[in-house]
């Protein structure tokens, strides 16, 4: 996959030995003048009966060669009359026609602005009508299945322009690592289709998120990683990779050139920057030379072909010989002929500049720059690319994992579209689980991308840049019957399909549909981030993130529609007029908003004007109108290396990896029984911590980094603090003892044996001291584990340790990860063990984490609802630190997925009080977050202040 750290590979070097002369360049221009690329595409009539035909030099397959020559530069596209087709080439006989009635239809047309009310008729694998169903047409179908959408949003299926599904499969197994070849820097002849596993669990999961089509790219280890193939995710009768292909290019079965029809688009992966450099132990200069060398090879062959063809077409067969071709380079030659959509993993200005230069040197175009974290800083450069500006395929907020990504901005989609560039949101699955690709569009929308372009960014725009906008990405008559019926407006948090059709076939057997409140049936009114965008551009992508303390003891928040606060281990609603039938609502539907007065970071008065203001308002107090916004508890983040690195993949910007005392040869660490403390490695003012702070995550709990057995001691800190020695920066030096019971070497059973020994509390040094505290129930033991089998062993181990404790005392165990915990929820509840679900929405990443409870629409229960049913204390974690800022949205998403089983206040507890309890944090985080125009947990609110009793004031954002 693309953005996990790649192995460094020293064994293979790029093929750079070619000494082909670049003086050829001049010749190219000359040749192009003589034989323009389209010369023999026109209706050249070749007279085979001329005098040459009787000459022995005319080959018997002359007509075939000429046909091939004519076909060389035919640009790809759908066959003539494709738009009039009555049946899809992918139609599965027996599929019943479907009439979806009373839908709110987003068609993708008019730049994503068209919305129709009405019906959609699907039959023979295609869309038959959109809007008002044609009565005459309807009468043709006897067995039509009618679905009442009850006004629900309907869109075309989601198209993922960048996925590794099937080549980087779930569960990940060593036998199925088919993403990257390490056999050379430029490998245009490789094909992702050749590695496509048909048993990837992700097909089903991503369909349940509305994804119907995905472009399966080779990885980014190489400059040219190979050819990509676009597939439909649904299972096929044939059960083969080939049958999943959306539109097989003719070259696939060697019919290229033999067919008079137009060829289909091909797709190819390119990558610049850090990945090829890391893998081949090279530099950007090496990678760029590898590109030029490969393109020069292809260019020369193309010139040879064109010269050959111009002679053949003119009947000059003498000494012409065989048509010059080369199976290794034909795909790259096709790039030069404009018949391949090039997908270029490319991040930084330096790399983008290199590639734009390359396109102009060799005259080819790039369909999209992917990842492309600095594109928003250089829009004018992109416009200079040969053949027009590439589209930009982005993550919404996944950034800062390496230098290339350090300046990634959540505002990039907005800035790029403001510059007239096309934006696609993509998953890089499994880097992001493409089941939730729509969430990327939702976030892009939240951070400024317009509604119509946000929806287009995962539906119509990717379909267009892949070259398939004649059949997918839009709801048009004759298009593939790939559609999704949503349970809310698709840009609302947690939007989930009620049903997904691919080629007209319903994909969800018994979908579990949650009822969503009516306010979620319209698009969220997102904040205005004009100021933030301006600062982002002014600071070259690194706007200052520090916050400033209000210069007044008293801060008055006016026009507040809800207030939630912490009360011990609970979250309490003080008032919430947005809740149906809430006390604050007058009978006439008028919201009775309230003022909230804060003094020195403490809420001192809640009420209407007369009650509070009289007492506290002074000429110097700061007044903030929240415009019906809200105040709610600040959140806690756990699970990622938050504050242990600035840039994950850079050693010098990092605390580094910890030493595993079980396996390391330097386990002595200059003394007996060492234990690593995260507090000793804390880095402050990392951008992810500050972005978290600005999104209401004011406390982080971080354990030492590493997937190893004994990890060490976690610590709790203030994510907004400037440095470790500042006031209240470290909130608790040591919170819990962390271990991992993950499949590795040595075996899990070996790790358990060591754990059993350690829990006797007889070891030396810190190791002995802290395991003794665990064994006596003084601090929690936090265990990274997914497998239900290993969790079962942990339950038994806990019983063993508890049996040694007197006076009813018990140890405190917390499981982290816990994809499979739901399988033994009852036993976990009975053992009094807590669970931090991480990730919050499960993905079957490997064998030991694969038995997930997926949640709606695939299951009614989620892990959170089921565990809670058995009285398990549940928290939510994040895997990577950039996700800290989105914790606020996880709250609402988890509540919505629970279908009312987890209330809003309970959902807030999952990332506040519960995490504190599960991780041994003794003091509750009493900070509050003031949000304008919405809540912390929706796509409407904008955080404007952190109310902190700890810092005795209000920090303004």
Q: 422: burial class by Cβ within 10 Å (0-12, 13-18, 19+)?
A: buried
**And the tokens for 708?**
């190893």
Rounded to whole angstroms, how far apart are CA atoms 942 and 379? 28
Closest-CA residue to 455 (of 441, 472, 468, 469): 441
φ, ψ at 915 (rounded to 5°): -60, -40
Which one, 162 or 341, has the nearer CB to ligand NAG? 341
Half-sphere exposure of 844 (CA within 13 A, CB side): 19
Shortest spacing between CB 624 and ligand NAG, in angstroms: 11
CB of 628 to ligand NAG, least distance (A): 4
Q: Which is nearer to ligand NAG, 263 or 877 (CB)?
A: 263
Of 595 and 927, which has the nearer Cβ to ligand NAG?
A: 595
Q: Return the residue matching tokens 């929308």.
A: 445
Smallest gap, in angstroms, from Cβ of residue 451 to ligand NAG?
20
**Those residues with Cβ within 8 angstroms of residue 808's Cβ, 6 or more apart along the chain or in another chain:** none
Q: Which is nearer to ligand NAG, 687 or 822 (CB)?
A: 822
Residue 250 or 436: the one with the smaller Cβ distance to ligand NAG is 250
Residue 108 vs 829, nearer CB to ligand NAG: 829
Our CB check for ligand NAG shows the closer of 829 and 924 to be: 829
Q: How far is the CB of 367 from ligand NAG (least distance, A)?
A: 21
Q: Environment class of residue 537 by beta-carbon count within 10 Å: exposed (0-12), middle (13-18) or buried (19+)?
A: middle
d(CA 600, CA 954): 7
The crossing angle, in degrees rounded to 10, of helices 349-362 and 284-313 is: 20
- List of residues contacting ligand NAG (CB under 6 A): 102, 150-151, 248, 250, 253, 255, 558-559, 593, 625, 627-628, 829, 870-871
* Distance (Å, whole) CA 349 – CA 93: 50
Question: C-beta of 438: minimal distance to ligand NAG in Å?
Answer: 22
Nearer to ligand NAG, 87 or 150 (CB): 150
Residue with Cβ nearer ligand NAG (5 or 79): 79
Nearest Cα residue to 715 out of 707, 706, 705: 705
C-alpha to C-alpha distance for 197 and 170, rounded to whole angstroms: 10
Contact 453, 443 (CB under 8 A): no
Distance in Å, CB of 148 to ligand NAG, minimum: 7
Say how far apart CA 476 and CA 122 lie, in whole Å: 11
Rounded to the nearest whole angstrom, what is the least distance from the CB of residue 435 to ligand NAG in the complex?
27
Residue closer to ligand NAG by CB (options 255, 602) is: 255
Which among 399, 394, 498 is positioned nearest to 454, based on CA atoms? Answer: 394
Comparing CB distances to ligand NAG, the nearer of 68 and 370 is: 68
CB of 61 to ligand NAG, least distance (A): 17
Q: In this complex, which beta carbon is closest to ligand NAG, that of residue 34 or of residue 830?
A: 830
Residues in the chain: 957
CB 524 within 8 Å of CB 491: yes
DSSP tag of 371: E
Side-chain-facing half-sphere of 936: CA atoms under 13 Å:
32
Q: Shortest gap between Cβ of 533 and ligand NAG (angstroms)?
A: 22
Cβ closest to ligand NAG, residue 726 vs residue 871: 871
| Per-residue DSSP letter, 706 | -
Q: Are 487 and 498 in contact (CB under 8 A)?
A: yes
Query: For the stretch 676-687, what's the b/e string if a residue is b when 16 or more beta carbons lie within 10 angstroms of its beta carbon?
Result: bbbbebbbbbbb
In the complex, minimum distance from the CB of residue 284 to ligand NAG, in angstroms, rounded to a whole number: 39
By C-alpha distance, which of 936, 931, 925, 855 is closest to 892?
936
Shortest separation between residue 253's beta carbon and ligand NAG, angstroms? 4
* Least CB distance to ligand NAG at residue 118 (A): 9
CB of residue 255 to ligand NAG, shortest distance in Å: 5
Q: Residue 649 or residue 873: which is nearer to ligand NAG going by CB?
A: 873
Q: Which is nearer to ligand NAG, 866 or 896 (CB)?
A: 866
CB of 247: closest distance to ligand NAG in angstroms?
A: 8
Whole-number Å distance between alpha carbons of 452 and 211: 18
Q: What's the rounded Cα separation, in Å, for the pair 196 and 165?
A: 8
Are the CB atoms for 475 and 483 separated by under 8 Å? yes
* Residue in 607, 614, 610 with CA at minimum distance from that of residue 593: 607
Distance CA 909, CA 864 (A): 12
State the residue for tokens 């569009």.
441
| CA-to-CA dists, residue 771 to 629, 711, 758, 793, angstroms | 46, 13, 6, 18
Q: Which is nearer to ligand NAG, 253 or 666 (CB)?
A: 253
Q: Cβ contacts of residue 243 below 8 Å, gap of 6+?
A: 236, 237
Task: Return the residue matching tokens 């998953």.
Answer: 427
Minimal distance in Å, beta carbon 826 to ligand NAG?
Answer: 7
What is the closest distance, in whole angstroms, from the C-beta atom of residue 625 to ligand NAG in the complex? 6
* Coil/strand/helix, residue 12: coil
Nearest-angstrom CA–CA distance, 879 and 745: 22
């Amino acid at each position: 996959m693309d953005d996990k750290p790649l192995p460094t590979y020293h064994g293979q070097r790029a093929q750079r030995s070619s000494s082909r002369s670049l003086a050829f360049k001049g010749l190219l221009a000359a040749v192009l003048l003589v034989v323009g690329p389209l010369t023999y595409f026109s209706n050249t009539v070749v007279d085979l009966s001329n005098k040459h035909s009787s000459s022995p030099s005319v080959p018997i397959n002359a007509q075939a060669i000429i046909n091939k020559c004519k076909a060389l530069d035919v640009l790809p596209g759908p066959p003539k009359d494709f738009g009039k087709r009555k049946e899809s080439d992918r139609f599965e006989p027996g599929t019943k026609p479907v009439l979806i009635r009373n839908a709110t239809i987003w068609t993708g047309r008019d730049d994503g602005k068209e919305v129709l009310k009405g019906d959609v008729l699907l039959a023979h694998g295609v869309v038959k009508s959109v809007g008002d169903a044609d009565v005459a047409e309807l009468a043709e179908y006897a067995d039509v299945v009618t679905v009442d959408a009850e006004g629900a949003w309907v869109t075309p299926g989601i198209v993922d322009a960048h996925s590794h599904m099937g080549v980087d499969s779930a569960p990940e197994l060593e036998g199925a690592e088919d993403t990257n070849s390490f056999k050379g820097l430029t490998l245009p002849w490789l094909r992702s289709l050749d590695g496509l596993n048909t048993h990837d669990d992700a097909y089903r999961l991503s369909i349940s998120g509305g994804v119907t089509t995905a472009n399966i790219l080779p990885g980014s280890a190489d400059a040219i990683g190979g050819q990509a193939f676009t597939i439909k995710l649904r299972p096929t009768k044939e059960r083969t990779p080939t049958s999943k292909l959306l539109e097989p290019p003719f070259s696939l079965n060697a019919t290229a050139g033999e067919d008079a029809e137009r060829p289909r688009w091909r797709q190819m992966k390119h990558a610049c920057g850090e990945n090829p450099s890391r893998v081949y132990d090279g530099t950007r200069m090496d990678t760029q030379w590898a590109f030029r060398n490969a393109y020069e090879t292809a260019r020369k062959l193309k010139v040879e072909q064109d010269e050959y063809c111009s002679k053949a077409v003119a009947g000059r067969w003498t000494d012409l010989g065989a048509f010059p071709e080369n199976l290794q380079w034909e795909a790259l030659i096709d790039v030069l002929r404009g018949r391949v959509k090039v997908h270029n993993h490319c991040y930084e200005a330096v790399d983008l500049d290199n590639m734009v230069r390359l396109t102009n040197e060799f005259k080819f175009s790039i369909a999209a720059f992917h990842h492309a974290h600095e594109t928003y800083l250089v829009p004018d450069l992109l416009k200079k690319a040969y053949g027009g500006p590439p589209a930009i395929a982005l993550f919404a907020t996944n950034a800062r994992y390496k230098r290339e990504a350090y300046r990634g901005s959540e505002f990039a989609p907005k800035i790029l579209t403001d510059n007239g560039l096309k934006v696609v949101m993509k998953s890089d699955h499994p880097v992001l689980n493409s089941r939730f690709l729509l969430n990327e569009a939702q976030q892009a929308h939240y951070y400024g991308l317009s509604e119509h372009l946000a929806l287009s960014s995962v539906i119509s725009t990717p379909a267009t840049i892949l070259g398939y906008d004649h059949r997918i990405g839009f709801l048009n008559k004759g298009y593939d019957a790939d559609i999704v019926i949503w349970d809310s407006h698709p840009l609302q948090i947690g939007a989930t399909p009620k049903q997904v059709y691919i080629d007209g076939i319903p994909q969800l057997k018994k979908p579990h549909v949650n009822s969503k409140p009516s306010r979620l049936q319209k698009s969220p009114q997102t904040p205005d981030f004009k100021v933030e965008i301006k600062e982002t551009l002014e600071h070259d992508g690194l706007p200052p993130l520090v916050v400033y303390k209000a210069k007044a003891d008293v801060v008055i928040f006016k026009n507040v529609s809800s207030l939630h606060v912490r009360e011990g281990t609970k979250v309490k609603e003080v008032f919430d007029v947005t809740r149906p039938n809430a006390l604050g609502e007058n009978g006439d539907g008028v919201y009775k908003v309230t003022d909230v007065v804060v003094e020195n970071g403490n809420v001192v008065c809640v009420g209407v004007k007369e009650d509070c203001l009289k007492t506290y308002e002074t000429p110097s107090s700061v007044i903030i109108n929240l415009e019906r916004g809200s105040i709610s508890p600040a959140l806690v983040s756990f699970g990622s290396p938050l504050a242990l690195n600035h840039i994950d993949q850079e050693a010098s910007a990092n605390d580094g990896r910890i030493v595993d005392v079980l396996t390391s040869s330097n386990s002595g660490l200059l003394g007996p029984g060492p234990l690593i403390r995260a507090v000793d490695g804390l880095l402050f003012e990392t951008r992810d911590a500050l972005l978290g702070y600005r999104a209401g995550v004011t406390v982080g709990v971080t354990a030492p980094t590493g997937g190893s057995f004994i990890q060490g001691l976690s610590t709790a800190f203030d994510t907004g603090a400037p440095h470790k020695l500042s006031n209240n920066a470290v909130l608790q030096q040591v919170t819990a003892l962390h271990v991992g019971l993950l499949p590795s070497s040595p075996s899990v059973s070996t790790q358990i044996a060591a754990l059993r020994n350690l829990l006797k509390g007889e070891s030396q040094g810190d190791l002995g001291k802290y395991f003794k505290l665990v064994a006596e129930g003084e601090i929690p033991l936090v265990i990274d584990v997914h497998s239900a089998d290993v969790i079962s062993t942990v339950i038994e181990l806990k019983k063993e340790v508890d049996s040694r404790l007197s006076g009813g005392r018990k140890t405190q165990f917390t499981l982290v990860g816990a994809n499979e915990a739901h399988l033994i929820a009852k036993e976990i509840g009975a053992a009094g063990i807590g669970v931090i679900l991480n990730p919050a929405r499960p993905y079957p990443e490997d064998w030991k984490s694969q038995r997930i409870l997926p949640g709606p629409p695939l299951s009614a229960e989620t892990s959170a609802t089921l565990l809670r049913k058995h009285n398990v204390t549940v928290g939510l974690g994040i895997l990577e630190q950039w996700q800290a800022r989105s914790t606020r949205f996880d709250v609402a998403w988890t509540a919505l997925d629970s279908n009312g089983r987890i209330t809003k206040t309970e959902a807030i507890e999952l990332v506040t009080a519960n995490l504190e309890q599960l991780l041994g944090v003794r003091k509750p985080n009493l900070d509050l977050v003031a949000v304008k125009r919405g809540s912390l947990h929706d796509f409407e609110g904008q955080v404007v202040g952190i109310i902190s009793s700890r810092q005795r004031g209000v920090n303004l954002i």
